[in-house]
Structure 1
Amino acid sequence: MHDNLEEILGVTFQNPQFLKLALTHRSYIYETPGVGLSSNERLEFLGDSILALISADFLYRTFPTLTEGELTDVRAVLVRTETLANFAREINLGQFLLMGKGEQNTGGGQRVQASAFEAILGAIYLDQGLEATRQFLLPRLEPLAQTIVTKRLFKDNKSLFQELAQAHAGITPAYRLVGQEGPSHNREFTVEVMLGEQVAGRGQGRNKQTAEQEAARSAIASQGWQIS
């Protein structure tokens, strides 16, 4: 079984125990009697740091015009749970994981998949070194990073809509609170975002900031503007 995964990964492990450890979820340990079994949590810890280093190094070298804050925002999108779980699904990692029955029934959620992917990075690093880990990871990170930067997907909705509005209409959006309902502990705010006299979008949220972000998201969708 591990041979198949090694083929998918493009990595032949000198010490297969690293790979087995990376695939062992803690739920499997709880349900399997035996001595000396360990879960992939320590490898996940290591892989998380390696992911941060490789992604930071890549972004720094590849996008010299991005500010420190923008680099941080791009990396946050690259290393979030959803992204890593997608990487795990692309290599069918879930079918190789050792999990307890409860996790098996769900197929392992996003967090399990993402953690296992980080553990795989830790395993490759321990077995093959940093450069081999970089060669495994970068083909996955690079196209996604290019898309994120080109389309400014690391921007929050308000920042992105302001960029779009200024580029396409020469107008800076303005936000106005048009309603609030409910008791103080459970209030819902309604905000409109204006382009001049035009209502470009409307949003609701539990606080004004969330409502403004939702209004900006609505406005981006309704205007149909794209950053190419």
Structure 2
Amino acid sequence: MAAGYRALEEALGIEFRDPALLQLALTHRSYIYETPGAGRESNERLEFLGDSILAFVCADFLYRTFPQLNEGELSNLRAALVKTETLAQFARDLNLRSFLLLGKGEQQSGGSQRVLASAFEALLGAIYLDQGLEAVRGVIIPRVEPLARTIVEKRLFKDSKSLLQELAQAREGITPSYRLVSQEGPSHNREFTVEVLLGERVIGRGQGRNKQAAEQEAAHAALDSRGWL
């Protein structure tokens, strides 16, 4: 492994057997578009794999750790743990941005939350292929466990849309509405942006891999901005 990746491996507690997997996990499609070459590919396939593994590891952990929660509560809790904002923060904690191979446009923008979250998922996919499932657990669980326990203790896993509707109707007599602002990316990796409104006022904005997830993010942002959490 090149010296440039050693700090990341140390932060993960993992030494890659196949260094090419780590480099692939850190290669964004914008880099490939601007530096074409035979045999090159981006981290999108690894992201697909990592996303599925992350969902499974989190579901398994939550099922075993919180037997008092029902299916809906477990689903909402898992959604909070794997949302773009959370994964992007995990990436920042690893200083992942400094290791990414990005095109010039992405470099200038600093790498969006979506780029960082996707890279973290791709990294999980690479770790799984290189080291196996237990190594992935070793990366995921220490990061999600304290966050999960805080969410459960404060009962923050309640569906954000339902909570916003309940509070908005009770406090302002208005039912929130949602509108789609944009959808970007290829069909297998699309990102939706949604705004939530009270009347004509935009009170929150969210992003997600489908409209429902984006609406939940927007509702959570609205609850936070209005001090209703």
TM > 0.5 between the two? yes
User: How do 1:139-154 residues align onto structure 2 when only pairs under 5 Å count?
Assistant: 139-154=142-157
RMSD of aligned Cα (Å): 3.2
- Identify if the C-alpha distance between structure 1 residues 65 and 107 changes in structure 2 by more than 3 Å, giving closer, same or farther: same
State how many pairs are aligned.
189
Deviation by residue 1:65-106 (Cα, 9 ceiling, x = unmatched)? 000000000000100000000000000000000001111111
Task: Find out whether 1:70 has 2:73 as its counterpart.
Answer: yes
Structure 2 equivalent of residue 23 of structure 1: 26
Counterpart selection for 1:117 from 104, 120, 136: 120
Structure 1 equivalent of residue 17 of structure 2: 14
Deviation by residue 1:40-82 (Cα, 9 ceiling, x = unmatched)? 0000000000000000000000000000000000000100000
Question: Residue type of the partner of 1:189?
Answer: G
Tell me by how many angstroms 1:188 deviates.
5.4
Distance 1:189 1:161 in 2: 13
Structure 1 equivalent of residue 199 of structure 2: 189
Conserved in 2, the CA contact under 8 Å of 1:158 and 1:216?
no
Structure 2 equivalent of residue 39 of structure 1: 42
Task: Find out whether 1:177 has 2:173 as its counterpart.
Answer: yes
Conserved in 2, the CA contact under 8 Å of 1:54 and 1:134?
yes
**TM-score with structure 2 length normalisation?**
0.73
Conserved in 1, the CA contact under 8 Å of 2:88 and 2:117?
yes
Conserved in 1, the CA contact under 8 Å of 2:164 and 2:223?
no
Task: Find out whether 1:94 has 2:97 as its counterpart.
Answer: yes
* SS of the residue 1:19 aligns to: helix
- For structure 2, the 5+ residue unaligned runs are 176-196, 205-217
Tell me by how many angstroms 1:160 deviates.
8.8
Tell me by how many angstroms 1:177 deviates.
3.0
Structure 1 equivalent of residue 178 of structure 2: none
* SS of the residue 1:77 aligns to: helix
Structure 2 equivalent of residue 104 of structure 1: 107
Using the aligned pairs only, state the percent identity. 60
Distance 1:48 1:216 in 2: 27
* SS of the residue 2:199 aligns to: strand
Question: Residue type of the partner of 1:177?
Answer: G
Counterpart selection for 2:63 from 50, 60, 64: 60
- Identify if the C-alpha distance between structure 1 residues 104 and 174 changes in structure 2 by more than 3 Å, giving closer, same or farther: closer
- Identify if the C-alpha distance between structure 1 residues 71 and 49 changes in structure 2 by more than 3 Å, giving closer, same or farther: same
Distance 1:115 1:72 in 2: 21
- For structure 1, the 5+ residue unaligned runs are 166-172, 180-186, 191-202, 222-228
* SS of the residue 1:66 aligns to: coil
The structure whose Rg is larger is 1
**TM-score with structure 1 length normalisation?**
0.73
* SS of the residue 2:39 aligns to: coil
Structure 1 equivalent of residue 211 of structure 2: none
- Identify if the C-alpha distance between structure 1 residues 37 and 215 changes in structure 2 by more than 3 Å, giving closer, same or farther: closer
Conserved in 2, the CA contact under 8 Å of 1:23 and 1:97?
yes
Conserved in 1, the CA contact under 8 Å of 2:84 and 2:114?
yes
Distance 1:215 1:9 in 2: 34
- Identify if the C-alpha distance between structure 1 residues 131 and 174 changes in structure 2 by more than 3 Å, giving closer, same or farther: same
